[in-house]
Amino acid sequence: MTKQTRKKYTPEYKLEAIALVRDQGFSIGEAAAHLDINHNMLRRWLKEHEAQPFSDYQGKAGMTPEQKRIRELEKQVRELQLDNDILKKASSYFAKHMR
């Protein structure tokens, strides 16, 4: 059994899809069929674009700079916690064997 990978769309591709609906007068269903994507996905892109235009996004899959920074900080916290755990285990090991 093969694992399916999720398709990733660039912000530029999403903007082109949105332009089909907004600028060129296609319905959501027509544009989605033309682009061979699910109409619910295109509808979600339209809602997201209304809330915050894709051109303002930075990073992966439309993350805002704040979201990207939070993700980086959470990763750093996990790494530091792992380092602390390793140091605690090492110090207890050496404390036992130094006696």
Per-residue pLDDT of the chain (99 residues; tens, 9 = 90+): 677 788 888 888 998 999 999 999 899 999 999 999 999 999 999 998 888 776 554 445 567 788 889 989 999 999 999 999 999 999 998 888 876
Alpha carbon distance 90, 84 (integer Å):
10
Looking at the fold, whether 16 and 44 belong to one and the same domain comes out as yes
Does 2 map to a domain?
A: no
Query: Is residue 88 domain-shared with residue 52, that is, in the same domain?
Result: no
User: Phi/psi of residue 59, each to 5°?
Assistant: 85, -160
Positive or negative: CA dihedral 71, 73, 75, 81: negative
Domain extent for 78: 62-98
With a CB cutoff of 8 Å and minimum separation 6, the contacts of 33 are 39
The number of domains in the chain is: 2
52 and 35 fall within a common domain: yes
61: alpha, beta or left, given left = phi > 0 and alpha = psi -120 to 50? left
Which class for 14: exposed (0-12), middle (13-18), buried (19 or more C-beta within 10 A)?
buried
Q: What is the pTM of this model?
A: 0.52
